Structure 1
């Protein structure tokens, strides 16, 4: 493993305490056998019918990725509107504020009670089965930028857990070609299991960039809808910014 040249280094680490809401950028993450610690513990729902947020499916949800999230040191969820104060969630006050922002009766709800000690309200069903790790390279972002120069291929459009800074590979989204290979990221060992097929979430505006259908259009045309890869975990570990990434 040590004989392999480094592919690059970790430049961004993310977790997403609440599905579809903005992620939390960290200096280190703990990767377990099934997911990142603190990832996707809560969902946002339309309180009138329990529908869970799907920004890729309808305009009523398009402002959801603007809502910031973080976990406190004691693993309590907090949310904030753009420019607003942090509020504890789930909580009637944060639900009131989010409802006013979205224009309908909305509520943050945990997937399991252990995610929100003391919470006695309704739960929500997980929107999808979580994959352990989503990895993206800056080389793929550079390839998308070359195909779509007027666009902003910000990593936040794609919601990775790990972003690897590496040199561009001309004409290639390189990690899509690594399927089945193993990656060592510091002490973490991953197997690249499948490409990440993109949806309409990627075109939606977030803080710092606008709505852009060209993002998805170019991925459909040039990389079969894909950017980034899903990985399974062979050896769990803590990962920090700057960790070297190698084939194992």
Structure 2
């Protein structure tokens, strides 16, 4: 690899143990050949018909991102509704808490047997889309969105990156969108920027600390062809920690 000036450093690292629920911030993540270890292992479904949560499509799911998630050291899921305690999931008690919070019967289920605990014998569900590769976002793009939409709150939680890179703002640019095809080194991790991340209605939804805001998506659509952040494929897996430098290769 050739040496180049650092573009920035890792500010935040996230995994999302349950699709559409709040992510789990971590000091370090292990990234394999296709995704982050522990990412999107479970889904939330409507218990009446098996419909999987779609906060981007239906208001009935808009409170889902307020439900916190974490994985224990033995890779078991725990969830907590606002004001509630951490509860194991899948489990009848956590399903009751989630259902009471949402206002209808809902259940957390593993995406396939391979994601369930060895002693789990309950039902399974299937992911509604293929698991994405690594999602990378820069603070420079968030700063550009803030400049376009000053009254908005472009919190990274709206966009659910795995890796948030702290880098200087680039005037008039969402910089990572221009990196398609380039290779990045983040510590020992080697990535190829494969495609822009097309945004959906999830970005509009209120979460803890910010309100519902259609202007977020409106400005992304208008000024960056519907995209914010990028997907990356993994050329060399590694463990990455906050503070790791990022550079072009």
Name the TM-score, length of structure 1 as normaliser: 0.99
Q: 3-state SS of the aligned residue for 1:184?
A: strand
Structure 1 segments unaligned to the other structure (5+ residues): none
Where do residues 11-90 of structure 1 align in structure 2 (5 Å cutoff)?
11-90=11-90
Q: 3-state SS of the aligned residue for 1:217?
A: helix
CA-CA distance at 1:113 after TM superposition? 1.9
Q: 3-state SS of the aligned residue for 1:177?
A: helix
RMSD between aligned residues: 0.7
Name the TM-score, length of structure 2 as normaliser: 0.98
Name 1:162's counterpart in structure 2: 163
CA-CA distance at 1:2 after TM superposition? 4.7
- Runs of 4+ in structure 1 off by over 3 angstroms are none
Match status 1:179 vs 2:180 = yes
Q: 3-state SS of the aligned residue for 2:69?
A: strand
CA-CA distance at 1:114 after TM superposition? 3.1
CA deviation map 1:188-211 (0-9, x unaligned): 000000000000000000011000
Name 2:206's counterpart in structure 1: 205
Where do residues 134-153 of structure 1 align in structure 2 (5 Å cutoff)?
134-153=135-154
Q: Give the aligned length.
A: 248
CA deviation map 1:20-77 (0-9, x unaligned): 0000000000000011000000000001100000000000000000000000011100
CA-CA distance at 1:3 after TM superposition? 2.2
CA-CA distance at 1:226 after TM superposition? 0.5
Q: 3-state SS of the aligned residue for 2:233?
A: strand
CA-CA distance at 1:116 after TM superposition? 2.2
Q: 3-state SS of the aligned residue for 2:129?
A: coil
